[in-house]
Structure 1
């Protein structure tokens, strides 16, 4: 039996009110040996999860949705949830479940495959791949790229910045700034960004296109969008370039996708096999080759041309599990008028 849910609705769970209804695909959840709630985009990970079924030796059903929404649903479902494994796009959603004691402790052999910075401090989730926040820029318009997101509130960037305020990675970055610099400083920065009239886009690919075409001078994105476009089109046809921010700037946040086993699930044994598969050389190579992310398990390195080694990045020092306060971030973004 699963343990009862201590608090049926948290501030984080309220995020479920702000996102669309879940979509489910794969095998029927009632008949599956493993049910995965996946906050990772279906287009990115479906080929890998299709192979997972053979690796774990049973049928697998995958429910795709927004990571915050899925985490909120597990919180709300409690012992009624069908999920055996939570595959999150970002660490904050895993942190929300960990905070409520809804994830099972992972064995040391699993945890030790990944650096401590990319796994839960409670030992109940582990990162599977990493991505870093960067500035995309148009070299025709930008001769000196800012070295901090704090520079983006200067008058010279008014109307020249593209971003996706509804994107989970942008919101995780804002949450990271709140953790690193406090709510007051973050709110002040957001107000300054709002005053500079940034252009909102529906997704990061459109931001990349806007920068590449010269529609905006700068874009706030994850690194892999640029590398995917380069692999598809060639660097000379992308137009945009990217800049990795130095000095532990909050805009250089390295976030991680990751997995946790839902505590009390009767799928725990097969879920552990799934975790092991996602940390295997085969899966880690998939993240490196296909999604252009950073593989996190020891022994696998990036194969993406020109991508700097993960250890060379000057990222801010932060407990990624503390990115769980999404609802507070959403409220702040609403208060300043960015969403």
Structure 2
């Protein structure tokens, strides 16, 4: 399934930051999410016991099939308001205890972290939380990851035998004018936020300036970065893992020159981020929302995300069947509280200081 391309990037984060500082312009939009302006097929309103209003930062084309299955499995009538995750989180914060949302389905852990910080999310049942490793759920027990994606380095084997093992190598002369990246894309910005959390603002800013000074080429989207690597326009590219697996599924492995490298050693460039869900405390739909959470962690829903989006299923007992995809527990990702990715406004400030946005 080839994801529709996004219509929002940095602007969405900036808007969110202006709406409420605590949101800190949390990262949400990703190439795969294809967020469109917030919309709903019916007027969103507080649901009753058998109704649920979902604010979804995940693309309608991507998740509408699973929403239909959710309705059938839970016997719950669902209304969905689609939009950019950061903007929807800001909307929930603005609505406060008047929120119309019962469930927030975010493309990015940062937006969930912002709502958790604002005490907008209800504690989830232990049975739901325990289905997912602690690394992919909120520290306050109020949100849980549904699917995961790893940052990787794409490389062209005709131009280099192997990719470097750290993003810190990319500022060295050996890679001058050979790296592609998408600085206005949310997944890159979430990675930079993770690097800030792990290594500090000073080190991160120095790396950003070094990458730019080393002639790294900018692209609008992760898919464009991968295409550039595949064509040999650049040697290396910073992307999420699923772009490569989707391209292979779409055109065939024999038609894809690029390869990808999962970075070792807990490198910041190996960040695993999560799309996830949280139940709104003030939405008046807690029972229905908790049923939806459990369904999204069910074998059926987890298999849908694994096969349809090439993401990692996060619920215990469900493994990806995507050929060649390393097991999630085999990856050497950095240890980080994903909720802290909500501090993206500072990331935007650093990107501006580095002359990248």
Scaled by the length of structure 2, the TM-score of the pair is 0.88
Kindly provide the CA deviation profile for residues 180-226 of structure 1, in whole angstroms up to 9, marking residues without a partner as x. Answer: 00010001101111112322222211111111111111111110110
> The residue matched to 1:220 in structure 2 has which SS?
strand
Question: Aligned equivalents of 1:26 and 1:145: distance in 2?
Answer: 46
| Shift in Å, 1:82 | 1.3
Query: Contact (CA 8 Å) 1:133, 1:223: kept in 2 or not?
Result: yes
Question: Which aligned runs of 4 or more in structure 1 are off by greater than 4 angstroms?
Answer: 13-16
Deviations 1:41-66 (A, max 9, x none): 23322221222222332322222222
Return closer, same or farther for 1:21/1:306 CA change in 2, 3 Å cut-off.
Answer: closer
Q: Could you give the per-residue CA deviations for residues 80-112 of structure 1, whole angstroms, max 9, x where no partner exists?
A: 321111111111111111011110000000000
Q: 1:259 to 1:100 in 2, by over 3 A?
A: same
2:70 aligns with one of 44, 52, 62: 52
Q: Are 1:321 and 2:339 counterparts?
A: yes
CA distance in 2 between counterparts of 1:291 and 1:285 reads 10
Contact 1:26 1:60 in 2 (8 A): no
Checking the alignment, whether the CA contact within 8 Å between 2:264 and 2:333 is kept in structure 1 is yes
1:177 correspondence with 2:188: no
Secondary structure of 2:309's counterpart equals coil
Q: Which runs of 5+ in 2 are unaligned?
A: 1-18, 30-34
CA 1:13–1:69 in 2, change beyond 3 Å: closer, same or farther? farther
Structure 1 residue 127 displacement after superposition: 0.6
| In 2, Cα distance between equivalents of 1:247 and 1:14 | 29
- State yes or no: 1:83 paired with 2:98: no
Cα shift at 1:158 = 2.3
1:14 deviates by 5.4
Partner Cα separation in structure 1 for residue 242 and residue 113 of structure 2: 23
In structure 2, the residue corresponding to 1:63 is in which secondary structure? strand
Q: Distance in 1 between matches of 2:60 and 2:329?
A: 29
Unaligned runs of 5+ in 1: 1-7
Distance 2:40 2:83 in 1: 11
**In 2, Cα distance between equivalents of 1:279 and 1:27:** 26
- After the TM superposition, which residues 1-339 of structure 1 pair with which residues of structure 2 at under 5 Å, given as runs? 9-12=20-23, 22-30=37-45, 33-339=51-357
Q: CA offset at residue 274 of structure 1?
A: 0.8
Distance in 2 (alpha carbons) for counterparts of 1:266 and 1:14: 26
Q: Secondary structure at the match of 2:315?
A: coil
Paired residues of 1:131 and 1:254 also in contact (CA < 8 A):
yes
Kept in 2, the 8 Å contact 1:118–1:320? The answer is: yes
Kept in 1: contact 2:182–2:188 (CA 8 A): yes
In 2, the alpha carbon distance for the partners of 1:313 and 1:120 equals 21
Q: Would the aligned equivalents of 2:26 and 2:342 in 1 still touch at CA under 8 Å?
A: no
Pairs aligned (count): 331
1:25 shift after superposition: 3.2
Q: Is residue 13–residue 72 contact of structure 1 (8 Å, CA) maintained in 2?
A: no
Deviating more after overlay: 183-192 vs 25-34 = 25-34
- Separation in structure 2 between the aligned mates of residue 78 and residue 139 of structure 1, nearest angstrom: 52
Where 1:36 maps in the other structure, the secondary structure is: strand
> In 1, Cα distance between the equivalents of 2:95 and 2:333?
36
Q: Please say which of residues 126-135 and 203-212 is displaced more in the overlay.
A: 203-212
